[in-house]
A and B are shown apart, each in its own frame.
Chain A
Amino acid sequence: MSDTAQDMGPRAFVERFPALTELSVADAGILLREMQRLDLPAGKEVIARGDLNDSIYFIWGGGVSVGLTTGEAVLTVGEFTAGQWIGETSLVDPAPASAACTTLADSTLLSLSHARFMELRRSHPAITSTLLQMLNESLAERMRRTVRFLDRGPDASGLGDQDQRHWLLEALRRVIGTAARSAT
């Protein structure tokens, strides 16, 4: 098995992540050179809650669960699988993570750090422009779906504790982008 992100091959990379089809194979190869490959076992914490995260993680294989610890219980907020990514907000603006991200199964991730991304912005702005266009569309869609959901609002006085918790969780799923597309 290959050990580096570059060995994945640029054509396979854009095929694995359809949102990146605007990238040429040559540009995908340049992007891969800046990425790090991580082969992780199931149950491995990729991002710990409260820790500074400064990278985006493209999920090549396996999956990642986003979870919150409330009291003694772990609340699963959502799951991401191959072809998706996590951590895009930290790529452009590193910050402590509000939730923990843990591999669901043996997984292969490709990470791109903020520092590498900023270097790439200077050397290859056309590539980061394509990447930013893809990220902006995704972030704007998450924001629109969240705002629509919040604007409908709950009648707080009419909700029991369980319903309040469910409403908050549904809102959070829209923020992180794991709510079902059919749910507005």
Chain B
Amino acid sequence: MDLYEFLQTVPTFSDFPQSDIEVLEKSLRVDHYPKDHVFTSEGEKDSSMYLMMQGEVQLSRKRPHDRGFEYREVLKSGDMFGLRSLIDNQPRFSTCRAITEVTAASLPRSAFNLLYHSHVAIAEHFQFIVAKQLSRELRALDRALVKALTSGSLEEFLSPMPKGDDVGC
């Protein structure tokens, strides 16, 4: 699969001029991963973000009081994960594991830092995506807590969140 052509089909890069798509293509590295490959592990530090090109990745997060894994979302072609590693060096919130063979383009933090200095508009776009993702996650928690507080239903809040909530790695 041609990365340049693929990038032009990803909605989040639809506003990018051709020159920025070319820079992004040169910054990303395409690799193939076997089924069960673990891209990010909850609680561990890593330093790359991934753009899914083919296959599926399952994103999951442990909640001790739920006694086990709580599966949240299946990521597919065009989805990105591990974005937060670009803005901080903190442990990941989630585990991302390949549930099929996967082709993905990765951007290590070191390459992001170079982009930040040479092509600030591209780096800024990734920062905006992270901000939007974090905002939606916090908003989902905020709404669930407000609902529980106003209804007095702690049990409802503690039940697993439905699939499809925005949860990043």
Contacts and interface: CB of A to CB of B under 8 A. Distances in A.
Interface of A: 68, 70, 75, 88-90, 92-93, 95, 98-99, 121, 125-126, 128-129, 132-133, 135-137, 139-140, 142-144, 146-147, 150-154, 156, 159, 161, 164-165, 167-169, 171-172, 175-176
Contacts of B132: 92-93
Given A129-B124, A133-B127, 12 more contacts: A89-B138, A89-B139, A128-B128, A129-B116, A129-B127, A135-B131, A136-B127, A167-B154, A168-B149, A168-B157, A171-B145, A172-B146
Interface in B116-154: 116, 120-121, 123-124, 127-128, 130-132, 134-139, 141-143, 145-146, 148-150, 152, 154
Contacts of B90: 140, 144
Nearest to A117: B128
Chain B's interface: helix, strand, loop or mixed, by majority?
A: helix
20 contacts: A88-B135, A89-B138, A89-B139, A92-B132, A126-B120, A126-B124, A128-B124, A129-B123, A132-B124, A132-B128, A139-B135, A147-B93, A151-B62, A153-B65, A154-B65, A154-B158, A161-B152, A172-B142, A172-B146, A175-B145
Interface in B73-90: 84, 87-88, 90
Given A92-B132, A135-B131, A168 B145 contact: yes
B164 interface: no
- Interface size on B, as a range, is 35 or more
A143 B124 contact: no
A132 B96 CA distance: 25
B64 interface: yes
Contacts, number: 115
B146 A68 contact: yes
Contact of A132 (B131, B139, B146, B157): B131
A76 B102 CA distance: 48
Given A95-B139, A125-B121, A70 B64 contact: no
A89 B140 CA distance: 11
B138 A142 contact: yes
A92 B131 contact: yes
B118 to A, nearest CB: 12
A106 B93 CA distance: 40
A37 B20 CA distance: 36
B146 A99 contact: yes
Contact of B63 (A129, A135, A150, A168): A150
A154 B124 contact: no
Contacts of B152: 161, 164-165
